[in-house]
Structure 1
Amino acid sequence: MSSEEYLKDISEIKKLMNKSSRFISLSGLSGILAGTYALIGATYAYWLVTTSYRGYLILDGKVFKLVLLDMFLVLFFSIATAIYLTTLKAKKNGERIWDATTKRLLSSFLIPLTAGGIYTLIILTQQRYGQTGALMLLFYGLALINASKYTLGYVKYLGYTQTILGLLCAVYPGYGFWFWVLGFGVMHIVYGFLMYFKYERKQE
């Protein structure tokens, strides 16, 4: 066996091991769209609150419920888009969408995210709105870091970015809205583009 054939075999083995241990069908386009949904939702929420309370971000009563509905819709469309585009990519690449790796990825991601979501809801029911943005960024970032070992490397760096933004948001709670926009909107778009151009564009 020549050295060239040997290296080719090693490369194929590495690819197979990577596929078996990592979920690599994540769609970069879904990240771009999730960031876009977040920016649209944030724009509506900002308009809603500022026009209702003359520029002060005070959430109460009907406006508070509308902002929560707005956030829920952003989350729903982001998840639905991610599932749809990721499924399409997996089928295109001839990969299974649901296997042991996917289960490990979801459990690693959902456990810290669910705990963070419940804690954030508790904070909201206590009308302690100032730290909700920081908590969402922190727990989301930690969930991404925890799940990153089962998927693409960029997910880990997105998690680090969200965690840092969450800590900064905790230090400067008065700018929580803008940190939320930067984390869930701008950073999703940035990392979505990076993933798309590195892993998907060359396959088209």
Structure 2
Amino acid sequence: MNQKHQEDLLHIRSMMERSSRFISLSGLSGVFAGLSALIGGLYAYQLLEKNGINYFEAKSVSISSSLVSELFWTGIVIFIFALLFGILFTVRKSKKYNLPIWTSTTKNMLLNLCIPLVAGGIFCLALIFHQMYVIIAPATLLFYGLALVNAEKYTFSDIKYLGYCQLVLGSIAAFYLGYGLFFWILGFGVLHILYGLMMFKKYK
């Protein structure tokens, strides 16, 4: 009898977890998003080198508007690929485990995720407008970290640890502006891959 009660409680707990948290996120989404960021970050570094700019040298450099435009669209492409991989693996996991995708929990998670991201995106556009390029990398890490921590209550709690790491990296990068690209690759690339592998192993 006690075993039956325990099984019932576990079933109820599982149902409550499914109804209150978005659990269709796949660890593979993080892995492929990280790979996209790694490739994009290395491409951005090659672009800078091609234009005679050593990003890791602690000195002021002049960046042409065409290079800024190319770097901007590189970031957009990285974002699109990361988003597509996220949608692909989320849909795949939802179908595999027969989980609903578009629920009130999903809407709440996206809302809490998007508010800091949209604010951060506008702030970064202002930085580009004022030609304050060296602050963009720390800003993206900080706003992304805030978004993850903000969305944690509607999905896996593990995601907040990724958010904390992004906040730490962004804070450090703010004091080492000449190394922003390095921290950006570390945060969006390496940390995403490590987090994705951990999530895949834990929730596969």
Confirm or deny a common fold (TM above 0.5): yes
Matches of 1:40 and 1:102 in 2, distance apart?
29
Residues 87-135 of structure 1 show CA distances to partners (whole Å, capped at 9, x for unaligned) of 1111111111101000000000001110111011101110011211111
Matches of 2:90 and 2:42 in 1, distance apart?
27
Maintained 8 Å contact 2:55/2:178: no
User: What letter is aligned with 1:113?
Assistant: L
2:95 corresponds to which residue?
91
Asked whether 1:114 is paired with 2:118, we answer yes
1:48 corresponds to which residue?
47
Matches of 2:148 and 2:156 in 1, distance apart?
11
Structure 2 unaligned residues grouped into runs of 5+ = none
Change over 3 Å in CA distance of 1:77–1:5 after alignment to 2: same
Structure 1 unaligned residues grouped into runs of 5+ = none
1:10 corresponds to which residue?
9
Matches of 1:99 and 1:11 in 2, distance apart?
22
2:179 corresponds to which residue?
175
Aligned residues with identical type, % of pairs: 44
User: What letter is aligned with 1:66?
Assistant: E
User: What letter is aligned with 1:128?
Assistant: M
Residues 16-62 of structure 1 show CA distances to partners (whole Å, capped at 9, x for unaligned) of 00000000000110100000000000111101111212535743222
Secondary structure of the residue aligned to 1:45 is helix
Secondary structure of the residue aligned to 2:131 is coil
Detail structure 1 runs of 4+ shifted over 3 Å in the superposition: 56-59
Maintained 8 Å contact 2:55/2:181: no
C-alpha RMSD of matched pairs (Å): 1.1
Matches of 2:55 and 2:66 in 1, distance apart?
15
Residues 117-156 of structure 1 show CA distances to partners (whole Å, capped at 9, x for unaligned) of 1011101110011211111000000000000110012211
Q: Which has the higher contact order (CA 8 A, sep 6+)?
A: 2
1:154 corresponds to which residue?
158
Asked whether 1:164 is paired with 2:168, we answer yes
Change over 3 Å in CA distance of 1:62–1:139 after alignment to 2: same
